[in-house]
A and B are shown apart, each in its own frame.
Chain A
């Protein structure tokens, strides 16, 4: 009966030259429903192909983020910056010479600095993968690496920016950084372990992931750098970094020209501007020219080892084979390239082990 009634209605509708909207809607819904329910029946391999994540990496020149500036553009920018800095340096030099006299040591030093001043844009070497390791048994928490880093990298003297933080932690649960502190005044203490922390130059850096303008990126040689001319100062990278490695210029940074390091890299220690982020670059101005970072050079106990992971003869590979390396917060999943290890000898030595300490300190460690 019902059907007949419906048909009649339909006929009426047809006769009136109208379309039965309700019936159409039901049909549409049925079609959509059929399409949705048929999804599980689709060939799974085909579905996998459709659902394959789009690879953004291929669209960009660099694996993650990456600079939009080519090498030549970077060099041009470095040249411009150099000219600007030289002008500034000469202006400051005049002031210094007026203050101390033309023949003073300071005046000569400043003039030499202005002459030596260079802003490089050295590109990464091919086939190089830098890494650093630190002997927690040797580190005495003297903070000399921190001071060397400040001097080498032209860090603002008025903002107390230090790229390296040395944590003092208990020898029992040292990996639980919650109990550590970096405001210690005396050291080394026998029951403490000292953990210098700086940028870990992670393999999967969260800071690079979150930067909204690609101002920070990972270079092919493994160094994570910041383009200071592009940073917009949103501080998202600082929020995302699990190692607290990044520092922000909250005020206008100031460096006295007498303390300026004239050897600069455009992505490294060129004097910063206000409201930009900065962090450790493994002294890019030194390492790209074949040197080692300042902290490695200055360490009085030789706790730091720096080298090329791809080179089987590099010191870092030897350490890895000899002692094994570990990283802090491995659960963060960022795969740091800054490793820690416990070497064979301890400074200061354990109590009762004083007789062997000299041998150990000399780096022998042989039993």
Chain B
């Protein structure tokens, strides 16, 4: 195991990004264009006064204002932290239980974590931050350990490093058809598991400790973040496997594995729904805090912001539907049906863990002002660009990862053995 081998792995990962079918090239070019457009909007318009010292531009172009200081960027930051956290559930479970089917897809969870965390850092560290260059110098050198935002940067960057290393090591060993060494697996489990829960918990702590925003001021916030993350993250992995099976020749995962993922999703959704229910009881039955009640009425009835109620009820109804569907035995036989449950879950959690979590805290704002927050086109554009970047990184890393997994687990002899499982489809 020389250094040259490690270097070769790096070269393979880079080179694989440029090899592929026509469809892959088209997708990559399209995503690059979307990303560049988002970058243009950010650098040359929204942040132009900071970088280019122009008079036009500034965060005033977004829908945010002094009543709603945070908007779409932070909303999607919450969601993608969750997706990143849950990806690791597969890695840890796979290495602890040594389940062969799990081991096949564990690396996909890690790739997903990397892509999601890059979206997170781009959103919170560049798109939303007023002065990103200052932050780059000050956050490491002038940290305030009372601030949860600092802890979030610490855990997120550590978790990103862990996952990058994990993806790299996995590709390195699997492409040479070797099992992962124990000296990698044990430190990985010990480090990654707490950080996975940690990133979403700390993100919850950013919001829940604020007395100024009563609707967030519940200790159920961080646990409910983790619960819905455990639904949305695996749902994303399931969808990725489903697509990989369709588009990559020879890659297949048993229906049994799909079923296991559906169990995790259902569990996460049930706990998440239960937390929503518990919060609603506290607010609508006994709360004596007028501000909390007013904010909750905005969330559940959409008094001043109708889209909030739509999002909240989409979460409740779609999540209930996904849970009920996952109980029906006949869905467990069809991979398509299980992918449908995953899509329902992703829509439900995206609805709730974005704007429906964030905006009620600002309407009404601390002094009782109601200034409805509506994202502006520039916010959508920049958010879209960031997401394009995330998907690009996902595609870039997932392809060599799947290829490496296939050289290790899908040898010609074994390949035929996995086919009968597919017939259940």
Contact = CB atoms under 8 A, between A and B. Distances in A.
Interface of A: 56, 64-65, 68, 159, 165, 167, 176-182, 197, 206, 208-215, 230-236, 238-244, 246-252, 274-276, 331-334
Contact of A230 (B60, B134, B143, B213): B134
Nearest to B293: A178
B77 to A, nearest CB: 12
Nearest to A56: B145
Of the four ranges (under 10, 10 to 19, 20 to 34, 35 or more), the interface on chain B belongs to 35 or more
B58 A274 contact: yes
Given A65-B144, A180-B368, A274-B58, A233 B131 contact: yes
Contacts of A230: 134, 138, 142
Nearest to B149: A212
Nearest to B210: A240
Contact of A212 (B153, B290, B367): B153
Contact of B58 (A208, A215, A241, A251): A251
A234 B368 contact: no
B66 A248 contact: yes
B212 A276 contact: no
A286 B425 CA distance: 78
Contact of A243 (B147, B148, B367): B367
B-side binding surface: helix, strand, loop or mixed? loop
A234 B146 contact: no
Contact of A233 (B130, B144, B206): B130
B240 interface: no
Contacts of A333: 211
A209 B290 contact: no
Given A210-B149, A211-B147, A176 B212 contact: no
B93 to A, nearest CB: 20
Interface in B360-408: 361, 364-369
A58 B369 CA distance: 39
B60 A251 contact: yes
Contact of B69 (A181, A232, A248, A274): A248
B122 interface: no
A232 B210 contact: no
A233 B368 contact: no
Given A178-B290, A232-B135, A209 B70 contact: no
11 contacts: A178-B364, A213-B142, A213-B144, A232-B135, A234-B135, A235-B69, A236-B147, A239-B70, A243-B366, A251-B59, A333-B211
A242 B70 contact: no
A236 B307 CA distance: 24
The 9 A-B pairs of least Cβ separation, nearest first, read A233-B130, A275-B130, A250-B60, A242-B212, A235-B69, A251-B58, A212-B149, A232-B135, A244-B366
B129 interface: yes
Interface of B: 49-50, 54-55, 57-60, 64-67, 69-70, 128-132, 134-135, 138-139, 142-150, 153, 206, 210-213, 290-291, 294, 361, 364-369
A274 B131 CA distance: 9
Given A177-B368, A212-B150, A213-B135, A206 B142 contact: no
Given A209-B147, A250-B60, 6 more contacts: A68-B142, A213-B134, A230-B134, A234-B129, A238-B69, A250-B65
Contacts of A331: 211
A250 B59 contact: yes
Contacts of B49: 251-252, 274-275
B297 to A, nearest CB: 11
B146 A178 contact: no
Contacts of B290: 176, 178
Contacts of A249: 58
B146 A64 contact: yes
A285 B132 CA distance: 30
A274 B294 CA distance: 33
A236 B131 CA distance: 13
Contacts of B291: 178
B216 to A, nearest CB: 9
B143 A231 contact: no
A210 B69 contact: no
Given A178-B291, A210-B147, A211-B144, A332 B138 contact: no
Given A68-B142, A178-B294, A276 B131 contact: yes
Contacts of B144: 65, 211-214
Contact of A234 (B55, B130, B142): B130
Nearest to B365: A244
A242 B366 CA distance: 6
A165 B367 CA distance: 10
Contacts of A240: 210, 212
Given A206-B211, A213-B138, A167 B367 contact: yes
> Among the interface residues B65, B150, B212, B369, which one has the most CB atoms of the partner chain A within 10 A?
B212
A179 B290 CA distance: 10
A208 B145 CA distance: 11
Contacts of B294: 178
Nearest to A64: B146
A178 B66 CA distance: 17
B148 A210 contact: yes
B307 to A, nearest CB: 21
A250 B368 contact: no
Contacts of B59: 233, 248, 250-251, 275
Contacts of B366: 177, 241-244
B355 to A, nearest CB: 15
A231 B213 CA distance: 22
B64 A274 contact: no
Given A68-B142, A212-B153, A214-B144, A234 B128 contact: yes
A182 B369 contact: yes
B58 A232 contact: no
Contacts of B213: 239
